[in-house]
A and B are shown apart, each in its own frame.
Chain A
Amino acid sequence: MAELCGLKYEDIAVGQEIPSFSHKFDRMDAIIYAGAGGDFNPIHTNPYFAKDVAMLPDVIAHGLFNMALLGKTVVDWIGDPGYLKKLSCQFRGMVIPEQTVIFKGKVREKLDGNLVVLDVWAEKEDGSEVLKGGEATVFLP
């Protein structure tokens, strides 16, 4: 039987940071995510629409794409997708092609029942917010 989760509740310390994940957003990411996620809003895929109609600097990443990468960052830490119990965040900054986003997390609290609550967020290299006020709750054996 393969053990997916390598972490133990007792080994986790409040204030501990989880490994961050960094991703440079490419316009193909949004085209692929549109198909996979089913959100074909042209602000994510069509640079002419994004600039000339929506008055954006370029196409922007889907919020739910950024949130999925945030979820991946937490699951990469715990190992087992079934142990992610809750994930939330606010969508703040826009991400345009060639911008790098860094996904981060830090243990806020340990609860009864082997639950660990983390602050999670995402920011660009200049420190500006992409995902703010996020919270993840994970179960650890």
Chain B
Amino acid sequence: MVDHKWIGKAYGPMKYEIGREKMKEYAAAAKDGRPIYHDEEFAATTAYGDIVAMPNFAAVYGLRGAGMVLLDQEVKLNLAMLVHGAQEFEWFTVAKPNDVITETGKIADIYEKGNLDFVVYEGEARNQDDELVCRSRATFIIRGG
């Protein structure tokens, strides 16, 4: 069982500067060749003015706190028995090249169901103008309790 005293434990702030080619690399890896993710000339003709990140790129800029939870030597999750059970992203604006994202997060919940332990991480990513870009919620399941 994971100790409930870690509910509320905070992580960050973590900074991530969004690279133009990294955004494109992620979209390509996710099989998405939409011009708004790749083609600056096309993007200049849109309301965005520049390419934007595929929404799911939040997995890169907005979920690093979840990685810190997994490696946290105080919380000591059993990684051999851990799976990523569920994920939620909520977006408030688009991410663009050279945005500097600051993520802060916390362990939002720890609970048990049968012999499964659930650990929930919630993170918030803001850009250099302090605009909220994305909220993320990752649920990890540890088998065996």
Contacts and interface: CB of A to CB of B under 8 A. Distances in A.
Interface of A: 1-2, 4, 23, 29, 32-33, 35-38, 63-65, 67-69, 71-72, 75, 80-82, 84-91, 133
Interface stretch (B2-10, B39-47, B101-109, B124-132): B39-47
B71 interface: no
Contacts of A23: 31
A89 B87 contact: yes
Contact of A64 (B48, B59, B93): B59
B25 A35 contact: yes
B123 to A, nearest CB: 14
B91 interface: yes
Interface of B: 22, 25-26, 28-32, 34, 36-37, 42, 45-48, 52-56, 59-60, 83-91, 93-94, 137
Contacts of B56: 64, 67-68, 71-72, 87
B15 to A, nearest CB: 15
A89 B86 contact: yes
B55 A33 contact: no
Contacts of A91: 83-87
A35 to B, nearest CB: 7
A72 B33 CA distance: 10
B34 A81 contact: yes
Given A1-B45, A69-B31, A71-B56, 17 more contacts: A1-B47, A2-B46, A32-B28, A36-B26, A36-B28, A36-B60, A64-B87, A68-B54, A81-B36, A81-B37, A81-B94, A85-B90, A88-B86, A88-B87, A88-B88, A88-B89, A90-B85
Contacts of A4: 36, 46
Contact of B87 (A63, A72, A84): A63
**Nearest 4 pairs between A and B by C-beta?**
A36-B29, A88-B88, A68-B30, A68-B56
B48 A82 contact: yes
B78 to A, nearest CB: 14
B55 A84 contact: yes
B25 A72 contact: no
A52 B104 CA distance: 37
Contacts of A63: 84, 87
Contacts of A64: 56, 59, 84, 87
